[in-house]
Each structure stands twice: as structure tokens, then as C-alpha cells.
Structure 1
Amino acid sequence: MFNKRFSVCSSSLNLLKTGEQGVVTRFRSSDETITKKLTAMGMTPGMKITLEQRFPSYIVKSGNMRLAFDELIARSIFVRITDG
């Protein structure tokens, strides 16, 4: 049915595998406090991240910074997966 290859443009952080890298594309949440919390933590669209851990918290690394999130927040962060 599909003759052409396709790729995912963006995915929520909670769907990434440990070790995958990406660039934050946007925050998607109806709860404005989540967006404010992410911004206060230093996460911004365009930021390059690596998912280091999924359980018990999602831990992402960006440069020398590590941030921890629960699953609700991880579902609100959308990233474009890169090859590293």
C-alpha cells in the first residue's frame, strides 16, 4: 500500500527510547502551568536533548544540564528525532 518511505516529524518525549536524541519542537498541553514549568526549568523549543532514562522518571540531558519529568509532562514535550 505504501510505496514511499516516511518518517515521523515529531513525537512526544514519552514515546522515545532510552538513548534517542532529538530537538524539542513544541510543548503541547492544555495546562498552562506545565508550559510555564518547562520554561522555568530551562527547556525551550530548539533545544537538543538525549533521553537518558524512562523510569521511574524521564531524564533528559542537554549539554551539561539534566532535567527530570513525570510522564504527564513527558507527553507534553514534542521532539523531532535526530540520528545523533
Structure 2
Amino acid sequence: MNFLDRLDLWIGLESPPEEIRRLVTTWIFTRTDDPYQGARREPGFANLWFSSIPRSEHKDWSAVCCSFWIDERDHVVRCDSFATLNRPV
């Protein structure tokens, strides 16, 4: 899992508030228990999953999201990226 490296990149780029950083860090550790929880598979990409992180809303209508790869054969979950995205209207 390279989630912490990707987390550091996201923090460096976006400088989210401390409480959001803690929330996202806590969410990362839930991926070891059940990487599919609250996530959906991205169409057109084998094994790419996407999740909006619960309670991560900030900057008005924005939320922190994460895309990650699940390799079921090797039992590996790799983070692709974190980003703060606007919620659809």
C-alpha cells in the first residue's frame, strides 16, 4: 500500500485543514479491512476503484476522493491519487 506517500503528495498540493488530514488518514486504514467498502469500480479500467471519503466535505461543496487499484490475485491495494473534488450540483 502506498497510500501514505500519495497522502503526503495531496497534502503538499492542496494544504487541507488538519481535521481533514486526520479524517483521510483514518480512512486509509479502513482499506486494509475492506477495500471495497464505500467504493465503486471505474468503468473502462480493470481493477480501478473510486471512493468519496465520508465526512470529508470542506471548502463549501468539495469532498476528498481517492482512486485506488485492487489486485485481487495478489491481494494488493495501491493508491492512485487523492484529490479534493467539487460535488455534482
TM-score normalised by L of structure 2: 0.30
Tell me which protein shows more helix as a share of its residues: 2
Q: Greater relative contact order: 1 or 2 (C-alpha under 8 angstroms, separation 6 or more)?
A: 1
Tell me which protein shows more strand as a share of its residues: 1
